[in-house]
Amino acid sequence: MAEQKKYSHVVAIKKSEKDAFLHLEGFIGRDAELNERTVNGEQRFVANTAIGANNVIKPINYALGEKFELEDNTFIELAVWGRDAERFSKLAKKGNGLAVTGTVYVHEHEGKKRLRMNVEGFKVFYFKPGNNDNAEQPKADAQPVAAGAKDDLPF
């Protein structure tokens, strides 16, 4: 059986010279990891993962003024901060669908530019299963209903 194609959606709006506001729908590339960081002397939780999306580079390039290569699949590092981080880390599993809104910016690592997205004060909108392994299966003793069979429905 052919693998089902997964589609993505993106809206990118330029905020400043260095970052853009981004709403992205894609799929989680790896299970989220929960870490504790000290930021400005304060202990904070952050959940890190990557979100994979396809055909999203053009609007991101336009909003950021960058020239990332056009690729079918793009992975963006995702960091969810604050109170939502702990819950997000428990729910964010590889392959699940995700819609998220936050700030995207370019980060350079080992001489290569990468996209990063921070979510704080915005929300993770939804999760949906990436596959149906946990879907309820029909019971083995279920009997089919004959076409045109009389039922007890009032309409």
What's the token pair of residue 52? 């994979």
Indicate the pairing of strand 33-39 with strand 112-119: unpaired
pLDDT score for 129: 55
pLDDT at 120: 66
| pTM of the predicted structure, to 2 decimals | 0.68
For each of the domains in the chain, give its residue range(s) and CATH number, in order of start: 9-128 (2.40.50.140)
pLDDT score, position 46: 93
Most confidently modeled range among 1-15, 29-43, 76-90:
29-43
E-only strand ranges, 55-96: 73-81
Q: Per-residue pLDDT tens for 131-153? A: 444 434 444 444 444 445 455 54
Listed in order, strand segments (DSSP E) in the chain are 9-14, 19-28, 33-39, 42-54, 73-81, 97-109, 112-119, 124-128
Q: How far apart are CA 62 and CA 50, in angstroms?
A: 21
94-111: average pLDDT: 85
Better pLDDT: 86 or 126: 86
Per-residue confidence (pLDDT) for residue 146, from 0 to 100: 47
| Type of residue numbered 21 | F
| Mode of pairing for the β-strands spanning 73-81 and 112-119 | parallel
Inform me whether the pLDDT recorded for 111 exceeds 60. yes
Q: Say if CB 56 and CB 64 are below 8 A apart.
A: no
In angstroms, rounded to a whole number, what is the distance separating the alpha carbons of residues 130 and 45? 26
